[in-house]
Structure 1
């Protein structure tokens, strides 16, 4: 089911986060030590941007719908940014 879950994420990204002006970053990581685990790290401009994200048709169809049917556990944790650095890549 991991491949199916990742396929939903791949379909969602250009339809949801890439189209949402309040989504500052959207990244999904696979844990190489746990093949059945995905980590979503999302950054929104404000609460209204997050609400627009989770209320979008793409989110409702793909994440709350199809993705939710594939996962056994979903934990959402809100954090506030304490420090940030931009790293130049040469």
Structure 2
């Protein structure tokens, strides 16, 4: 399993709009992708204009399919990317899980 974590600093005042955009994206992007195991976006109540993406993919091929989809390119690489001040892409490997 491939785990991607993205801490993202947004442009000032863009929190609400970007939360709405990821709510729109989740069911029509990751929600339709067979290799996307989970897609979660978190806010930090103590840090405005910040979102944390935590995504689980079956493998690298699933992640590649996710990031090359039409909806990803329109909403995330397009609209969302224009509202980012800074982000980091962190790869992780799952060690343990309990659901």
Kindly report which structure 2 residues correspond to 1:12-51, keeping only aligned pairs within 5 A, or say none: 12-51=25-64
Q: Which runs of 5+ in 2 are unaligned?
A: 1-13
Structure of greater relative contact order (alpha carbons < 8 Å, 6+ residues apart): 2
Residues 1:11 and 2:16 are matched in the alignment: no
The answer to whether residue 82 in structure 2 is matched with residue 79 in structure 1 is no
**Based on CA coordinates, which of the two structures has the bigger radius of gyration?**
1
Report the TM-score, using the length of structure 2 for normalisation: 0.83
More strand by share: 2
Deviates more, 1:2-11 or 1:62-71: 2-11
Q: Which residue of 2 aligns with 1:55?
A: 68
Q: Secondary structure at the match of 1:43?
A: strand
- Which 4+ residue blocks in structure 1 deviate beyond 4 angstroms? none
CA RMSD across the alignment: 0.8
The count of corresponding residues between Structure 1 and Structure 2 is 86
The two structures have a TM-score, normalised by structure 1, of: 0.91
